[in-house]
Chains A and B, each alone.
Chain A
Amino acid sequence: MKPFVSPLSLVPRITMALLAFPVLAGLAGTVIPGLGWMPALGGTRFDLAPWAALVSTPGIWRSAGLSLATGLGATAISLGAVILIVASWHGTRAFRLIRHTISPILSVPHAAAAFGLAFLIAPSGWIMRALSPWVTGSDRPPDWLLPGDPWGLSLVAGLVAKEIPFLLLMTLAALPQADADRSLRVAAMLGYGRVSAWTKCVLPRIYGQIRLPVYAVLAYSLANVETAIILGPSTPPTLAVQLTTWMRDPDLAVWLMASAGATLQVLIVFLGLGIWTTGERLARRVGYAWILHGGRLPNDAVLRAAGGLLALFASVPVLLGIAGLATWSFAGFWAFPEILPDRFTLQNWQRAAPGLFSLSATTLTIAFLSVALALVLVLGCLENGTRRRQRAGRWALLLLYLPLIVPQIAFLFGLQILGLRIGLDGSLFAVVLAHLIFVLPYIYLSLADPWASLDPRLGVAAATLGASENRIFWRLRLPMMLAPILTAAAVGFAVSIALYLPTLLIGAGRVPTLTTEAVALAAGGDRRLIGVYGLLQAALPFIGFALALLLPPLVWRNRRRMRIAA
C-alpha cells in the first residue's frame, strides 16, 4: 500500500460533510428556536413555552397520529403491492405492459398527481361527470367528503400511486443481481407456485437491497406536504401541513411553536422508522417459519389476478387524472356535469409561454449540475470502498441518508440562516449545492446495492490479467454499471426538478424554476394552470427516465447477457 493519502480516499469524507453539515446545522437552527432561543426575534431564554403551546394546540395529537398512520399505511401498501406485482408477473409478457404503464408516473410531480387524482374522485370530478345525470339522476354534484376524507384514505391512495413506481424501479434495478431466474426454475420444479416461489427465494435477497429506498419512502410519506394538502383531511390536517401553515404566520410566537412542531415531526419520522423495523423483524420471523413450513401455493391464480388488479389501480387512476389535467390545460368553459369542455383553447398555454424557455433552462442546468456532481461523489465513494474492501459503516450510512430521513421542513429554515451567514444564497451555485443534498442520497440509494452486487471475481480476474485499478474502474465496473447509473441519474434528475422549498429558500426567490413557478401558480388553485405546469414538470423527468430505459439496450445491443430481463 502506498503511504500517502490518495485523493479518492477523501471523497467519502467530502461527501459526508457536504450532506451532514448542512442538515445538522439546519436542524440545530430549528430545534434550538423550538426551545425558545432565537435572539434575533427576541427569544433569549431557554424555555419550553413553544412546546407547551404546541401540545396545547387542539387536534395536534390527531394530526401527529394521522401523519404516522397514513405514512406507515402508504408505505406498507406500496411495498406489498410491488412485491405482489413483481412476484406474480415478473418475466411474463404482461409484465412489460405493467412496467410501461407504471413507469411514466415516476416523472409526474407529487402535486400534479394529487391534483389529477382529486379531479378524478371528487364529487364534481371526472367519474361523477361520466355518471351524471343518467346514473346519479342529478346535474348537481353530491356533497361527499372526498378527497379529504377524515381517515386519510385518499391521501394514502395518492401516496401509494406515486411510491409504487419508485419502489418498482428500485426492485427492478436490484433484480439482475439476485439471480432470480435460476432460483425460480428450481422452485418451480419443486412444485412452488410463482408467487410463493418468488416471495420465498427472491424477496429475501431483494429486500436487503431495497430496504433503504423503502425507508426513504416511509420518511417521505410521514412528512410530505404537497399530497397531504391536496388529498388529505383538513380538520385537522397532517402535522407537516399544519407546520407549513404556522411557518407562514406573521406572528413570531407561532414560528417558535412551529420550530417545536418541526422537532416533533422529526420524532414522528424516527418513531415511524422504529415501528417499521420492528415490523421487519416480525415479518422475518413469520416469513422464516412460512418458508420452513414449505407451503407451495401451486394454484395462485387469485393472488396473481390481485397483483394484476393492483397494478391497474396503481397506474390507471393517476394516468386518467393526468389526462384530466391535460384536458383542463386546453379547456375553455367547462361546467359540471359536462364530461368535456364546451370549447378548447390555447390561451392557457400561450399565457405560460413567454417565461417557459428561461424557466426550463434554469431547471435543467440545476438538475444537470447537481446530478453530475452527485454521480462523481457517489461513484468515488463506491470505488474507494471497493478498493479498500470496506463497505460504508452504519454511521456513515445514517449521515448519508440524513437528508431523506430528516423532514425538509425541519432543517431548511435553519439552513437558510446558515446560507445567509456565509453569504451563500440567492445564486445558482448555492441552489445546486442545496439540491445536491437531496439528489445525492437518492443516487447513492439507487447505486449502492447494484454496485455491491457486482461479482468481485470479475475485478480479480481483470487484475490477474494485468489491469490497473483505474483501468478496472473505467473499462469494467463503470460500463457494467451503465444501466443502474442511468437509472440513478434519472431518479436524481426527477428529484432535483421537483424540489420546491430548497430552491425557494436557498435561491432567495431569485432562481426561479418550473417548480417554484408551478407551486406559486397552484396557490391560486386554477386547474387550467396546474394542468399546464404539471404537464411541463412531468415532461422533463420523463425524458430522463426514457433515456435511462432506452440507452442501455442500445449500447449493449451486441451484449446479450447485459440486457435486463424484462
Chain B
Amino acid sequence: MLRTLFTTLASGLLFVSPSAWAESPDPDPSDWPAIVEAADGQEVFFHAWGGDPRRNDYIAWAAREVEDRYGVSVTQVKLADTGEAVARVAAEKAAGRVADGAVDLIWINGPNFASMKSQDLLFGPWAEELPSWRYVDVDGKPTVRNDFTVPTEGYEAPWGMAQIVFYHDTARLPDPPRSIAALGEWVETNPGRFSYPAPPDFLGLTFLKQAAIALIPEPDALQQPVDDARYAELTAPLWTWLDDVTPGLWRGGRAYPQTGTTLKQLMSDGEIEIAFSFNQSEASAAIANGELPDTVRSYVLKDGTIGNANFVAIPFNSGAKEGAMVFANFLMSPEAQAHGQDPAVLGNFTVLALDKLDADDRARFDALDLGVATLSPEELGQSLPEPHPSWMDRLAVDWSARYGVRN
C-alpha cells in the first residue's frame, strides 16, 4: 500500500513538466490602440482586499463600465489579506507557471510591492504609458511615483490617495489631542480609550511610523533604508513613548484590534474615543451608513499625517495583461476618479491634478459634496512621506517582541 503511494507521489512530481505553459510575448504598453484591441474579450481577475463593501461596489461599477466600453470582463477576487495574492504569484513562479497565472491585477502597495518588484514577480514598466497618466498629479502628489520611498518606475498605477485621518465624537471629546506627544498625555489620563490595530496590520504599522516621525530625533533617517548601527539609538524615544502609553491603551495593551475597520466598530460601541483610518472620508461614510453618530468629526495632527497612494500592479505571468492595463487606465481616468471621490460612493481622494483636467472633467470634482465629517484638501494639508519599507519590517518585528507578548 505504502509503496504504491510513494511511486504515485514520485511520478506526480517528476513526470509532469511545467513547460506546458509557454511564455507568450509581453504586450507593448506604448501601442495603446493595439492594447485596447487585444483587451477586447479578455477576462481579468482583479485580486483586491474585500473587507470594504463600498470599495467592492466601486470596483463592480468600474468593471461594468469597462465591460460595456472595451469588452473587458473584470472579476474582483475578494481577498481577506493582500498577502494571499502575493503568495499565490510566488507559488506560481515556484511551480514554473510562467503564463496564464491566476492573478491578472492586484491592489497593492508598500512592502508587498517592494517584495514583488524585487522578486521579479511584476510585469512592466507600463503604468506611465497609459493615456490617463497625463492627468496624474506627479508634482503635487509625489507618492504616486514613490511607493514607500521605492520608485514605482511604471510597475504599478495609482488609483487613489490615502492619508491618515483621525476622528472623534465631538459629543464626548470636544477637543482631541492634535500631536503624538499630546495623544500620549491624553492616553495616560484617559486609560482604556485609545488603541491601534496590532502590527503587522497595515494601519497599525502606519500608526507606529506616524509616532516614529514625531518622536525620533532625525526623521529624515526614515527615508533611507534602516541603518543597523543607528537603529537602536534612533528608535529609543519611540519605544519610551510606547512603554509609557501602552498601560493606558484599550485593554491595557494586552489585546489589540485586529484590523483598521475594527477601530470603527470599537468607536461605535463606545469602547474608544479616538480612531483613525487611511480613508479620508471614513467618518462621513460611516455616519451616512448609520455606523457612527453624526457628531463624529475628522482631524489631522498639527504636524501632518502620513499619506500614500493605492496602486494596482500586473503580475509577470498574467494571461490578460492588456485587459488589466485597460482596467487600470479606466480606474485612473477623470470619470472614475471623480466617481470614487464622491463620499456617497467611496470617498477616496483623487490621484489626478485638477488643473490638468479640461473644464468638464473639473466640474465633476467641483460638484462633489465631501460630507459633513470630511476635511477639505487644504485642511488635510501636505501629507508626510512614508518611511522606507525596511523600517516597517524592523518596527513590526520589534513591536512583536516588546508588546506582542504581554500576557
Contact = CB atoms under 8 A, between A and B. Distances in A.
Interface of A: 13, 16-17, 20-21, 24-25, 38-41, 57-59, 62, 122-124, 139-141, 143-145, 148, 150, 229, 233-236, 245, 247-252, 255, 331-337, 342-343, 345, 351, 395-396, 399, 413, 416-418, 420-423, 425-426, 504-505, 508-510, 512, 516-517, 519-527, 529
Contact of B90 (A39, A139, A252, A425): A252
B84 A504 contact: yes
B102 A509 contact: yes
A395 B2 contact: yes
A418 B14 CA distance: 11
Interface in B292-319: 292-293
Contact of B293 (A248, A333, A417, A420): A333
Contacts of B102: 425-426, 508-510
A247 B96 contact: no
Of all A-B residue pairs in the complex, the 10 with the closest CB atoms, nearest first, are A248-B83, A524-B51, A40-B94, A520-B50, A59-B405, A143-B192, A508-B102, A250-B115, A520-B78, A509-B77
A119 to B, nearest CB: 10
Given A40-B93, A236-B404, A523 B49 contact: yes
Nearest to B270: A336
Nearest to B405: A59
Contact of B262 (A139, A508, A510, A525): A525
Interface string B204-231: 0000000000000000000000000000
Interface centre among B252, B265, B290 (most CB of A within 10 A): B290
B33 interface: no
A516 B79 CA distance: 8
Given A141-B271, A417-B95, A509-B79, A525 B8 contact: no
Interface stretch (B253-261, B334-342, B354-362, B378-386): B253-261
B387 to A, nearest CB: 16
Interface in B318-365: none
B269 interface: yes
B129 interface: no
B62 to A, nearest CB: 15
Contact of A512 (B77, B93, B111): B77
A521 B94 CA distance: 29
A251 B259 contact: no
A144 B255 CA distance: 10
Given A21-B5, A512-B77, A516-B78, 18 more contacts: A25-B13, A58-B400, A143-B191, A143-B192, A235-B403, A250-B111, A250-B112, A336-B269, A396-B1, A417-B95, A421-B12, A421-B96, A509-B88, A510-B77, A510-B102, A521-B78, A523-B261, A525-B261
Contacts of B8: 17, 21
Interface centre among B77, B80, B192, B403 (most CB of A within 10 A): B80
Interface string B373-407: 00000000000000000000100000011011111
A413 B5 contact: no
A71 to B, nearest CB: 17
Interface of B: 1-2, 4-5, 8-9, 12-13, 16, 18, 20, 45, 47, 49-53, 57, 75, 77-88, 90-97, 102-103, 111-112, 114-116, 119, 191-192, 198, 200, 250-259, 261-262, 264-266, 268-271, 290-293, 393, 400-401, 403-407
20 contacts: A16-B5, A25-B13, A39-B94, A59-B400, A141-B269, A143-B271, A148-B251, A234-B258, A413-B87, A420-B96, A421-B12, A421-B96, A426-B102, A509-B102, A510-B102, A516-B78, A523-B49, A523-B261, A525-B262, A526-B53
Nearest to B268: A335
B88 A251 contact: no
Contacts of B95: 40, 417, 420-421
Contacts of A512: 77-78
Contacts of A13: 1, 4
A24 B12 CA distance: 12
Contact of B18 (A342, A421, A524): A421
Contacts of B96: 420-421
Contacts of B53: 351, 521, 524, 526, 529
A50 B67 CA distance: 46
A521 B50 contact: yes
A16 B8 CA distance: 12
Contacts of A522: 51, 80
B119 A252 contact: yes
A425 B262 CA distance: 34
A122 to B, nearest CB: 8
Contacts of A421: 12-13, 16, 18, 95-96
A366 to B, nearest CB: 17
Nearest to B95: A420
Nearest to A341: B290
A509 B45 contact: yes
A58 B405 contact: yes
B256 A235 contact: yes
A5 to B, nearest CB: 14
B99 to A, nearest CB: 12
A420 to B, nearest CB: 4
A250 B113 CA distance: 9
A335 B295 CA distance: 13
A59 B1 contact: no
A503 to B, nearest CB: 12
A399 B51 CA distance: 38
A13 B2 CA distance: 10
A221 B78 CA distance: 27
Contacts of A416: 88, 91
Contact of A124 (B51, B75, B269): B269
Nearest to A345: B290
A336 B293 CA distance: 11
Contacts of A245: 200
Nearest to B21: A423
